[in-house]
Structure 1
Amino acid sequence: MSLREETDRRLVAVFTVLPYALLAVGTTLTLIQQTTTVPIPAVLGLTLATTAWMLCFDTRPRWQGRRSLMGLYYAGLAVLSASLVVLAPSYGIFAFIGYVHAFERLRGVLRQAGAVVTSMIMAVSYLGGMRNIAEGAWWEWAAISLVSSVLSVSCFALLDLVDRRGREQERALTESHEANARLEAALEENAGLHAQLLVQAREAGVLDERQRMAREIHDTLAQGLAGILTQLQAVELRLDEPLRRHVTNAMNLARESLAEARRTVHAVEPAMLAEARLPEAIGELARNWARLHDVETVLTTDGDPRPMHTDVEVALLRAAQEALANVAKHAGASRVGLTLSYLEDRVVLDVRDDGSGFDPRAKRANGSGPGGFGLVGMRQRVQRLAGRLDIESEPGAGTAISASVPAIPVGGER
């Protein structure tokens, strides 16, 4: 519990007990100073009635939020306080509670009216009771009432201002705490995204470098070895037997080196692409994923499937893997359809599901664009090939992801 909450709790306890304590003090003073002019039975009766009236409203906290009932309560309290002060001026000590309850339980004009009424009742007590006023102290009573009313209304206005400022500061502090909590969450998410992007960038850099090395090996070493082997085969037919044996050994070494170079080139490709082309690799991926997650998955190939540059096939295969992974984690789908389309100048992979969907236009908590880490990496991989990634989805209507990249043939330049 905060210091402010603890202070408020103690103040509520004090103001709950205070009216009854002041009423008890006023009654005690009246009984001690009793004169023949004070009707004790009437005083005790009014004291009990006042106690019952306050208890009736204090034991029903839900009534304190209703303006009409609080106006009724205060009117009754004012009548009872005035009656007690008329009977015995020492009850002015209790009438002071009218200020407290006016500020605590009334609002707006009623609060100011309560302060004025209480000031008028207190003025009777200040002048020693109604007998003195009736004997000619009306002007004094009016003057005291006026001064007390002005002071009390001014004090109420000041207290109201302080109360509003305090509530505004408390609200601002609460909003500041909430904003700090959101900022911390956004920073944590940003840190996670940054780490993920670093990993993806590192993986992409490693893959790009390995593929560059593979192209260099293929275009230089492997091609050179193949040329050497061809030349040796031509020479072999024109040599005598002693020399032919050395040429044969050289040819065998060239064949082994060429096979090793080709294995190195294939080693940098994804395992599924090392032994199959893109449609077969995605088909195998879809079958394995469907069997693992028990979701109906269908792959359709349109156009003329033809070998593409390794970067193109790797990008589309990774896009299919990430899209299926997102379906498994988030969509709750019962059916997934994949379409691989070979167009004249582009290759397009579409992945559609009938899952829960999401709002692709919604911003993330840190203000970044839509989508999770996987979609960010997928988009970056496709954009590195001058391609594009489109996402269509809405809550409850499934999701469609389309990855489109240039149709760069084998041996073509990126």
Structure 2
Amino acid sequence: MSSPVPRWSAVVTVGPYALLAILAGVTVVGKLSEGESPLIDLVLCALAAAWMLWVFTLHPAWRERPPVMAVFFTVLIVITAVLVIRNPWFGLFTPAGYVYAFRVLRWPWEVAGVAAVAVVSATAQAYGIDKTTWIGLVTYVAVVVANVVPMCGFAWFARRSALQNEERERALQEVREANRRLAATLAENAALHEQLLAQAREAGVHDERQRMAREIHDTLAQGLTGIVSQLRAAAHTGEDPAGWRRHIEAATTLARESLAEARRSVHALRPEPLQSARLSEAVAGVAERWSALYEIPVQVTTTGTARPMRPEAEVTLLRTAQEALANVAKHARATRVGVTLSYLDHEVALDVRDDGCGFDPDQLGDDAAGGLRADRGGFGLVAMRQRIEGLSGTLQIESEPGTGTGISARVPAERAEVCA
């Protein structure tokens, strides 16, 4: 698509015709007063007007064609030069030549056009000088130089100013484009931020559901399982009031502990055994109560130097011990259990081993060794693994039929932050 034709002012489109008409009238008056014929001058004026009318005025699209405009300007300057040689007052038509040189010629031909007009103007100014003598010739050259140098210098400065304007306009356009892109980027970032917030909220809801599921399993589910076991045991005591009373008291104690743990889980507090004891003491207390409840001996061993840990790490290891002991009570049919808490250089390990019946992890699916599937009764191990891996720890389960089961949990030994 061709570029739109620029609009020209009346000075450019009408001025040359008016100036040419005035000079033609002056010529007619002057020639007739001197008794000469103005016919040739009028023909030249008509030719110049017709040339401007046809090439420039009636065909505005040609103004955007540099070759056509170069021919137009050359022919017009030749006609003007002839008129100046015949009548010096036609030097007053050279301003139209300057206007055309600046408007229709491209750089660097613009300088050549301006110089040509300046020579014609200087010729008109030096019309009365005798050019047959060397003094007259030098004077004529000086007049030409006095016209050409300033006008060409003006053309050079005008070109430089135009380039600076184009550069500023290009810079402004780049700034506008950069602002547009920045606005688009900000809008995109705002949308992305909203999306990330929504995902974060969904992730928070999901994590909270997972936490509540683990807490309910580790507290209410285990407590209710123990209560059911104690009530069943009480139902089979027969005529033994002491045994019946012992199982009922154990079930009541479990119910109270489960209720307290449920309340603490809802408020995201630490487990009750960790409220007033270190991890090693809390694990020993859990094992002692479990042993008294299920009448299975438990040996608890702590190795290394005990040191404070992050609360979430202590909670995770304590819950792991509770879940492992609960699994022993439900599935292992063990006669003894060993619990070892090891404080190593860069991690803390919890190992729970029993001499029960064991199982074959391969029979429970591909992911049995790394955590049993929730749909096959292994949500406790799944929750256990989720807790430990959430702390960048590891969980290993070793078991074979008839050889018992070993669970080993390891978490990084990062120290708890101590407030000053």
- TM superposition score normalised by structure 2: 0.54
Offset of residue 21 of structure 1:
2.8
Q: Who is 2:50 aligned against? A: 52
Q: Counterparts of 1:9 and 1:312 in 2: how far apart (Å)? A: 78
Distance in structure 1 (CA, Å) of the matches to 2:26 and 2:374: 99
Identify the match of residue 23 of structure 2 among 11, 18, 26: 26
Post-superposition offset of 1:11: 5.8
Deviations 1:300-356 (A, max 9, x none): xxxx6768979999xxxxxxxxxxxxxxxxxxxxxxxxxxxxxxxxxxxxxxxxxxx
Supply the distance in 1 between the matched residues of 2:64 and 2:210 (Cα, whole angstroms). Answer: 74
Secondary structure (helix, strand or coil) at the match of 1:238 reads coil
Distance 1:310 1:195 in 2: 37
- In 2, the alpha carbon distance for the partners of 1:123 and 1:311 equals 104
Is the 1:312–1:408 contact (alpha carbons within 8 Å) kept by the matching residues of 2?
A: no
Unaligned runs of 5+ in 2: 263-364, 376-389, 398-406, 412-420
Give 2:25's aligned amino acid.
T
2:98 corresponds in structure 1 to: 99
Contact map agreement 2:367 2:373 (CA 8 A) in 1: no
Aligned with 2:14: secondary structure? helix
Distance (whole Å) between structure 1 residues aligned to residue 194 and residue 372 of structure 2: 27
Q: Tell me the CA shift for residue 93 of structure 1.
A: 1.7
Q: 1:181, 1:312 → 2: CA distance? A: 52
Instruction: Assess if the C-alpha contact under 8 Å between 2:70 and 2:105 holds in 1.
Output: yes
Which residue does 2:155 correspond to in 1? 156
In the TM superposition, 1:116-195 aligns within 5 A as 116-127=115-126, 129=127, 133=130, 137-195=136-194
Matches within 5 A, 1:4-403: 12-34=9-31, 35-36=33-34, 39-58=37-56, 59-127=58-126, 129=127, 133=130, 137-239=136-238
Structure 1 residue 132 displacement after superposition: 5.1
Deviation at 1:56, TM superposition (A): 2.5
- Asked whether the equivalents of residues 22 and 94 of structure 1 are also in contact (C-alpha less than 8 Å), the reply is yes
Q: Residues 213 and 75 from structure 1, CA distance in 2 versus in 1: closer, same or farther, beyond 3 angstroms?
A: same
Task: State the distance in 1 between where 2:47 and 2:152 align.
Answer: 28
Name which structure has the greater RCO, CA cutoff 8 Å, separation 6+.
1
The answer to whether the 8 A contact 1:119-1:149 is kept is yes
For residues 312 and 61 of structure 1, what CA distance do their matches in structure 2 show? 84
Measured in 2, the distance between the counterparts of 1:53 and 1:202 equals 79
The letter for the 1-side match of 2:181 is R
Query: How far is 1:143 from its partner?
Result: 1.4
Question: Deviation of residue 195 (structure 1)?
Answer: 1.7
Q: Alignment partner of 2:80: what SS?
A: helix
SS at match of 1:161: helix
> CA offset at residue 216 of structure 1?
0.8
For 2:50, give the aligned amino acid. Answer: A
Q: 1:152 to 1:225 in 2, by over 3 A?
A: same
1:227: how far off? 1.5
Task: Compute the RMSD of aligned alpha carbons.
Answer: 4.3
Structure 2 counterpart SS, 1:96 = helix
> 2:145 is aligned with what amino acid?
L
Q: Count the aligned residue pairs.
A: 268
C-alpha deviation, 1:15, in angstroms:
2.2
Give, in angstroms, the shift of residue 198 of structure 1.
1.6
Taking only the aligned residue pairs, the percentage that are identical comes to 39
Name which of structure 1's ranges 37-46 and 170-179 shifts more when overlaid on structure 2.
37-46
Q: CA deviation at 1:142?
A: 1.9
CA distance 1:204–1:139, change in 2 (3 Å): same
Deviation of residue 232 (structure 1)? 0.8
Tell me which amino acid in the other structure corresponds to 1:181: R
Query: CA contact under 8 A between 1:98 and 1:118: conserved in structure 2?
Result: yes
Is this contact kept in 2: 1:38–1:87, CA < 8 A?
no
Change (3 A) 1:228 1:38: farther
Separation of aligned partners in 2, 1:80 and 1:37: 24
8 Å CA contact 1:39, 1:87 repeated in 2: no
The residue that corresponds to 1:401 in the other structure is none
Structure 2 Cα separation of the partners of residues 134 and 13 of structure 1: 39
- Per-residue CA deviations over 1:222-275 (Å, capped at 9, x if unaligned) read 11111111221121122469999x98xx99xx8xx99xx9xxxxxxxxxxxxxx
Helix, strand or coil at the partner of 1:107: coil
> CA separation of 1:153/1:220 partners in 2, compared to 1, >3 Å: closer, same or farther?
same
Question: In structure 2, what residue type is equivalent to 1:173?
Answer: L
Q: Is the 8 A contact 1:26 1:90 kept in 2?
A: yes
